[in-house]
Amino acid sequence: MAYRFDDRGWYDGEVLEGAPRSTGEPPPITSTTTTPGEQRANWSGLAWVVVPYSAPPGPDLDALRAAHWESIKAERDRRTLAGGYPVDVIDELKWFHSDLLSRSQQIGLVLLGASIPPGLAWKTMDGSFVSMTQALAGAIFAAAAQQDQATFAAAEAARTVMEVDPQAFDIAAVVWPATYGGAL
């Protein structure tokens, strides 16, 4: 028979000889109390000592907050770059790509203004093409700004909730703006 101790050295019961974190030396008391301040045997590495039980330290809330914030930012950025943004094109909602290359092309269209080549076909996220115009280029640019702001606001709202109780925070519960096909 051997006597097991937990990862903090507290007596944890009897086990078979050779079990991990155990010793053949019997403890002076066999209490397994988890009430702080009550006497409990603790393995020092050489011998059992009887000391007042102390609960394990709680989680590092600052580190947990920092980790959650990194997760929120990563999800915000993923949605910003892959979620697209909707624009009404002749009474039909079309989604436009939001990756960095598409954004730079869309800015180029706005800069071209009235010089956009007539009949320029632009591919949307559903694979269909629309005829690009100066007005449509402006609407795409405005939709990008609106979607970016909504995504940013959702991330900041999530951060506010997370800061209050980081242990209960669940990123899956965050309400994000719609994305193309709801796929994200």
- pLDDT by residue (tens digit) across 17-70? 999 999 999 999 999 999 999 999 999 999 999 999 999 999 999 999 999 999
d(CA 3, CA 151) in angstroms, rounded, equals 55
Beta partners for residue 51, in sequence order: 40
d(CA 69, CA 77) in angstroms, rounded, equals 12
Task: Determine the pLDDT at residue 181.
Answer: 87
Phi, psi angle pair for 138, to nearest 5°: -65, -40
d(CA 44, CA 9) in angstroms, rounded, equals 7
Mean pLDDT of 116-124: 97
**152: amino acid identity, one letter:** F
Q: Look at the block and give the residue holding tokens 């076909």.
A: 121
Is there a contact between 53 and 39 (Cβ–Cβ < 8 Å)? yes
pLDDT digits (tens, 9 = 90+) for 71-112: 999 999 999 999 999 999 999 999 999 999 999 999 999 999
Phi, psi angle pair for 72, to nearest 5°: -65, -45
User: Integer distance in angstroms from the first to the last C-alpha of the chain?
Assistant: 55
Q: Inform me whether the pLDDT recorded for 167 exceeds 90.
A: yes
Cβ count near 58 (within 10 Å): 8
Mean pLDDT of 137-163: 98
Chain Cα centroid distance, residue 106: 29
Q: Looking at residue 59, what DSSP letter applies?
A: -
Is there a contact between 129 and 173 (Cβ–Cβ < 8 Å)? no
The pTM of this model reads: 0.74
